[in-house]
Amino acid sequence: MDKVSLTASMRSNLLSLQNISRQVDSTQNRLSTGKKVNSAIDNPSSYYTARSLSNRASDLGALLDSMGQAVSTIKAATTSLETAADFLEQASAVATQALESGGVAGATPDDPIYIPQPSGISDDAAIRDTSLFDGEANTQAMIDQIGADALAATAANQFYAPGTSKNDANFGQGTWYLPAIGELMEMYGIDAANMTGGSGTTGANGENKTAINDALTTLKGLGVDCAALANGYYWSSSEYNSNDSWSLNMNSGARDSTFKRGYNYVRCFQLLENKFNPKDVASAPQIGDVMYSDLSYGSADDYDGSKTAVGIVTWVSEDGKSAKIVNLKDLRFSSSNTVGNFNPDDPYNSSSSHTQHTTSAKYNEDVTGIDNYDNNQFLAAFQEAVAESAGEAAALADTTDKTYDASQYQTILSQYDSLIKDAGYKGVNLLQEQDLKVTFNEGRTAWLDVLGKDASSAALGLTTLEWNSKADVEKSIEELTNAMNQIRSMSSELGSYYNIVLSRQDFTENLINVLEEGADKLTLADMNEESANMLALQTRQQLATNSLSLASQAAQSILRLF
């Protein structure tokens, strides 16, 4: 079939009409979708840029949900802490009321709180206030002022029990000290009532020394590296005057002032304060008991080699909760009079068994913080301290013959712990040491680790649950005060985390809006403009149709000739 030929005018109008139709279709598509870029064909650069922005906005939207959950997790913890603080305030009120009520009288020697004073031992509540009995404070005062020239004190401070480590919390370096003269006298055995002078042997009975040496001899026979107390003078950290320190002859119990440049034996002491909680006389530490590195204790006769022995008990407090121990062997030194003469890593095997109290360079320095006592002052101060201690013991007996009802207190703490356990949100409990990681960007290069805390009553130190004495109630009140401070600190820390996450959440929301707005600017059509375009195209389409009709009329005029 032959092709129909169109006139130039008809062809031109037809092409124009086709072009207008395509534009109408495109405009109609924009009006129906609202976008001027619907695919990469429309505008590759704008399409892929907008797609990238939209994808990032979508990723951040997912992270925004995660931030919202993190905010809820932190709010759950902070809300719980607010209620927990109320519980602790209630517990404090109960303890205070119990203290004010005076407890219930009628405790007997069969009650767990009744622990009679071991023979020959006095309570240290008042005694430790004097330089005659507080070797720990004396040792620190010498080290602070004289430093390494205080040979005996420095060696005691550097000592750590063989079989333990330097950093051991109970028996490492810094936990031992050079004993005061009163502590040496207690280790030997003293009857203060029979003392008639500061120096000399009056009042000394040797009972405790016998029990301690028996234990050391037994341990040595069982293969432990130890030795009985030597029959010679031992240095104390108490001062007679600037040139002389008090020392004790372990052979006779004689107390004497000794020139600081003299040479004496050295043993280390340690105070284990509030480390024990005996329920009866039999379970309390006893003088001559072996102390082990796990803070257990017992008779040397029961030693089986399964534990590390670190010392021998020399003194026990009235309530049986505290004890003093002496190390197992005399310290040894590389020389008797030079700085650095003690090796804490090998404390028992150097050549010299004696050392000066203080080097010749500092022997006459009067240590601030250590009172000086001559013979008369020594006797008066010692007897006064013992008398004050007896008064403290009597006062303690007056309070320990009462028990206190702790059931309500225990109930509150039980509810407190239950509350802490219920503080979780979607499996994360920040008050039970569970951490939370909050991611802030899609590349996971910015995040916040919300560190959980252990807010249980035990972790806060609320461990005194039985009120067998006034001291126990006072201890609970002290523990509650510390616990409240810890709760406030936790709340402050969680509040800081909360504000950080909220700030990032607001930023992310704003950033998502910016990204979506930017994507829209690249792809969305201007509806007003597109509507105007459609009207213009429809007009052009009508005109093109009319023009095509006029062009076809020339051909139709030929038909009139027939």
- The answer to whether residues 131 and 153 touch, using CB atoms and an 8 Å cutoff, is no
The encoded tokens of residue 325 equal 């121990």
pLDDT at 512 over 50: yes
Q: What residues form DSSP beta bridges with 164?
A: 162
Q: What is the pLDDT of residue 112?
A: 35
Sheet containing strand 269-272, strands side by side: 269-272, 323-326, 309-316, 290-292, 297-298
pLDDT at 315 over 90: yes
Between strands 297-298 and 290-292, the pairing is: antiparallel
Q: What is the pLDDT of residue 557?
A: 66
DSSP string for residues in 199-265: SBSTTB--HHHHHHHHHHHHHHHTT-S--PPPSSEEEEEEESSSSEEEEEETTT--EEEEETTSEEB
Most confident of 15-19, 51-55, 341-345, 551-555: 341-345
Q: What is the pLDDT of residue 116?
A: 35
Give CA torsion, residues 155, 158, 162, 165, to 10 deg: 180
**Angle, to 10 degrees, between the axis of helix 44-101 and the axis of helix 407-421?**
180
Cα 537 to the chain's mean position, in Å? Answer: 77
Residue 200, phi then psi, degrees to nearest 5: 100, -170
Give, as one character, the DSSP assignment of residue 352: B
Percent of the chain topping pLDDT 70: 80
* 3-class DSSP assignment, residue 25: helix
Alpha carbons 14 and 4: distance in angstroms, whole number: 14
Q: What is the pLDDT of residue 359?
A: 95
Cα 454 to the chain's mean position, in Å? Answer: 9
Alpha carbons 17 and 1: distance in angstroms, whole number: 26
Q: What is the pLDDT of residue 396?
A: 45
Residue 465, phi then psi, degrees to nearest 5: -105, -15
Q: What is the pLDDT of residue 189?
A: 94
Q: What is the mean pLDDT of the chain?
A: 84
Per the model's pLDDT, the better-predicted residue between 110 and 476 turns out to be 476
Q: What is the pLDDT of residue 402?
A: 60
Q: What is the mean pLDDT of residues 299-304?
A: 95
pLDDT at 524 over 50: yes
pLDDT at 542 over 50: yes
- The answer to whether residues 108 and 114 touch, using CB atoms and an 8 Å cutoff, is yes
Nearest to 288 by CA among 190, 391, 210: 210
Report the length, in residues, of the chain.
Answer: 562
Alpha carbons 169 and 153: distance in angstroms, whole number: 20
* 3-class DSSP assignment, residue 403: strand
The lowest-confidence range among 112-121, 305-314, 327-336, 418-427 is 112-121
pLDDT at 395 over 60: no
Q: What is the pLDDT of residue 34?
A: 63
Percent of the chain topping pLDDT 90: 47
Alpha carbons 284 and 278: distance in angstroms, whole number: 5
Q: What is the pLDDT of residue 427?
A: 87
Q: Report the phi/psi class of residue 310: left, alpha or beta, with left for phi > 0 and alpha for psi in -120 to 50.
A: alpha
Most confident of 3-17, 99-113, 182-196: 182-196
Q: Give the global pTM.
A: 0.53
Residue 173: how many other CB atoms lie within 10 Å: 16
- The answer to whether residues 145 and 233 touch, using CB atoms and an 8 Å cutoff, is no
Q: What is the pLDDT of residue 161?
A: 96
Q: What is the pLDDT of residue 203?
A: 92
Between strands 263-264 and 355-356, the pairing is: antiparallel
Cα 196 to the chain's mean position, in Å? Answer: 51
Q: No. of H helices and E strands in the chain? A: 10, 14
Cα 410 to the chain's mean position, in Å? Answer: 24
Per the model's pLDDT, the better-predicted residue between 44 and 169 turns out to be 169
The lowest-confidence range among 116-120, 168-172, 491-495, 538-542 is 116-120
Alpha carbons 346 and 268: distance in angstroms, whole number: 15
pLDDT band at 259 (very low <50, low <70, confident <90, very high): very high
Q: What is the CATH number of domain 71-108+404-501?
A: 1.20.1330.10
Q: What is the pLDDT of residue 562?
A: 59
Per the model's pLDDT, the better-predicted residue between 57 and 29 turns out to be 57
pLDDT at 272 over 60: yes
Nearest to 465 by CA among 416, 520, 398, 528: 416
**Angle, to 10 degrees, between the axis of helix 375-400 and the axis of helix 470-523?**
80
Q: What is the pLDDT of residue 12?
A: 72
